[in-house]
A and B are shown apart, each in its own frame.
Chain A
Amino acid sequence: MMLEKPNPVLEIRGLSVSVGTDEGEARILDNAGLALMPGSIHGVVGESGCGKSTLIRAILGILPKRGRATAGSIMLGERNLLELPADTLQKEVRGRAIGFIPQDPFQALNPVFRVGTQLLETIRTPGDSRATRETKKAHVISLLKAVQLPDAEHALDRYPHQFSGGQRQRLLIAAALASSPGIILADEPTTALDVTTQLQILKLLRGLAIERGLSMLFVTHDFGVVAQLCDTVTVMYAGQTVESGPVGQVLKAPYHPYTQMLLACHPERADELAGIPGAVPSPLRPPTGCRFSPRCPSARPECNAGQPPRVAPSPGHAVRCVLHLDEAAA
């Protein structure tokens, strides 16, 4: 059955990332894994501090100064990004094979330069590095039209403050598309926007993904956005990837106690507004094994024996939890 499935365009296996701090080694990611399938939009969802942004930074090779990957691999096709030299990453991966859409459209653009100056200087046209300014400009304008920016021809002469929040996010999406990447990483790109604008941007991303055959990793804390946009989703807790599967299944019938309890906190679902008792553990002294076990009502002694292996009780829907060890279907 596994043989029929296409290979993932991006696959993270057993990734652990540590960041040195004055108080010791912070183990931000612990044996994290996910697979981005071609043409799909995969959500990465979790609460603050769960490591979702670190995951994105690890893929782009921009971990903090004292951070390093201690185990695992990030496979882009046949290549392990963790083993690539820095200049290859810069020349062939970041902004080439992988485009990036940042969280805050208000901070990502420099207010004192025209949008055109910023886009033309930073973007790379596919193929030709010696492209003339005029070809580049035409390319940028075609991108601005693709992201449905009003008055795209004149947009390059304007300054960032002359655009609304939604329009600025469109500018940054255009920049991410500039090198015709096959993969887009988006880090909460609609968090700063109002819901009607958010809907415009989500529809735009969905349309671009279909039109251009993009695969997208979409980081968010909002399960509602995951439901609206994504095909599949990975749930993270305290640096571990605890559950993944098709969005419909994960939202409707989650396996992991954390996913269950988190979804039960959603105002749409909550019987009683109570939250999850306890707090997220410090990455300096994480619990051994399953990091959710100290807060888990179903915890058993074996939870701390090591992180439970990943099992798939139903096809494509996998979980790391001792409660499901004997249900493995795959």
Chain B
Amino acid sequence: MSGSDTALLEIEDLVTEFGGAKPFLGKAQRIVRAVDGVSLQLKPGQALGLVGESGCGKTTIAKTALGLVREKSGTMRLEGRVVSGLSPKAARAARTTIQYVHQDPGAALDPWWSIGHALDEALRIHGVTDKAERTTRVDEMLLAVGLDPSFRTRYPHELSGGQQRRVGLARILVLRPRIVILDEPTSGLDLSVQATVLGVIDELRRRFGLTYLFVSHDLSVVERMCEEVAIMYLGRIVEIGPTKEIFARPQHPYTRALLAAAPRLEPGSLNDTPALPGDPPSPSNLVAGCAFRPRCAFAAPKCAEARPPLRQIGVRHLAACVRLDEIGADNPA
């Protein structure tokens, strides 16, 4: 993606692996490359959607960006400063302007702690020593997410799913982050509650000038919330670009199949939509060349030769497929 405005967060050729440890008297564990050469940029105030099916590595990217998981290689620049290649502790310290909203904030809240206590704790850990200041900031943030400050005396089990999500957002916001990673922020919520939570997320972005990395498997939510979107398949980005353009004219065969499979409110599409054959293979057992090749309707011998690189196909629009010119833009998957 080439843009004139400087990126807030720049990730280049990121690789994250799991396994490989050799236990005493044991066989070395198999290495699983969960993120395999991912590059992306977050511009200030932008929301970038990270989309893909289970096991595609989207949560691993989020955790690596946050510093919870250590990258194997690649560079990360945060506000121009290199923050990769550090020890886990130093990495996390260098990345405090990045915060993470847990997928299920209900599970992330301590059931014995009141909401006020939990929010206060977050501030204390991050070095805000003045009690009066902490109290003011907690009240401000509860109001910002649409909860009355009286919620500080309540306990997690007294809250509905939507209210728990709001507390999860408030807990991050008291830390005044610049980048917020939202991991499936509405999964498991009912439609009417989801709309409320998405409304709060949108409002907070405008009000506090936040930048979002929006991890989700729900395409209609991403289409609605993000200006740009990255589609992942087995640890790699296969297509990235402006959301409007990708949803209108998906290029990569996987993007086409994914968008076609997503349920929409138009009845009767089932018969016309071919289903992708098979299941996503495990990242520990990849084929040579394009990882999508075994399920791709357009696969050809040359797809097996090398991992297809992302290449520019439009303004800020990239896709990783060697047959793009041959399969044609209008040819449905």
17 contacts between A and B (CB under 8 A): A194-B280, A195-B262, A196-B258, A200-B275, A206-B270, A223-B191, A224-B262, A224-B263, A227-B263, A227-B267, A247-B267, A265-B192, A268-B220, A270-B195, A270-B224, A274-B196, A275-B196
Instruction: Please name the residue on chain A nearest to B202 by beta carbon.
Output: A273
Partner of A195, one of B53, B196, B268: B53
Cβ of B190 and Cβ of A274 under 8 Å apart? no
Indicate whether A267 reaches chain B with its CB closer than 8 angstroms: yes
CB proximity to A under 8 Å, residues B260-282: 260-271, 273, 275-276, 279-280
Q: Which residues of A contact B202 (CB under 8 A)?
A: 273
Partner of A266, one of B191, B193, B257, B269: B191
Q: Which residues of B contact A266 (CB under 8 A)?
A: 191, 195, 220, 265
Q: Which residues of B contact A227 (CB under 8 A)?
A: 263-269
Contact bitstring B140-161, A, C-beta under 8 A = 1, else 0: 0000000000000000000010
Cβ of B279 and Cβ of A167 under 8 Å apart? yes
- Within the complex, the shortest CB–CB distance from A190 to chain B, in Å, comes to 9
- What is the CA–CA distance of A267 and B201 in the complex, to the nearest angstrom? 14
- Within the complex, the shortest CB–CB distance from B284 to chain A, in Å, comes to 14
Q: Which residues of B contact A48 (CB under 8 A)?
A: 190
Q: Which residues of B contact A274 (CB under 8 A)?
A: 195-196, 199
Q: Which residues of A contact B280 (CB under 8 A)?
A: 194, 196
Instruction: Please name the residue on chain B nearest to A246 by beta carbon.
Output: B267
- What is the CA–CA distance of A248 and B265 in the complex, to the nearest angstrom? 9
Instruction: Please name the residue on chain B nearest to A166 by beta carbon.
Output: B279
Indicate whether A269 reaches chain B with its CB closer than 8 angstroms: yes
Q: Which residues of A contact B276 (CB under 8 A)?
A: 196, 199-200
A/B pair count, beta carbons within 8 Å: 125
Indicate whether A164 reaches chain B with its CB closer than 8 angstroms: yes
Instruction: Please name the residue on chain A nearest to B186 by beta carbon.
Output: A267
- Within the complex, the shortest CB–CB distance from B21 to chain A, in Å, comes to 22
Cβ of A262 and Cβ of B191 under 8 Å apart? yes
- What is the CA–CA distance of A48 and B188 in the complex, to the nearest angstrom? 10
- What is the CA–CA distance of A198 and B280 in the complex, to the nearest angstrom? 13
Cβ of A196 and Cβ of B275 under 8 Å apart? yes
Instruction: Please name the residue on chain B nearest to A204 by beta carbon.
Output: B275
CB proximity to A under 8 Å, residues B177-229: 190-196, 198-199, 202, 217-221, 223-225
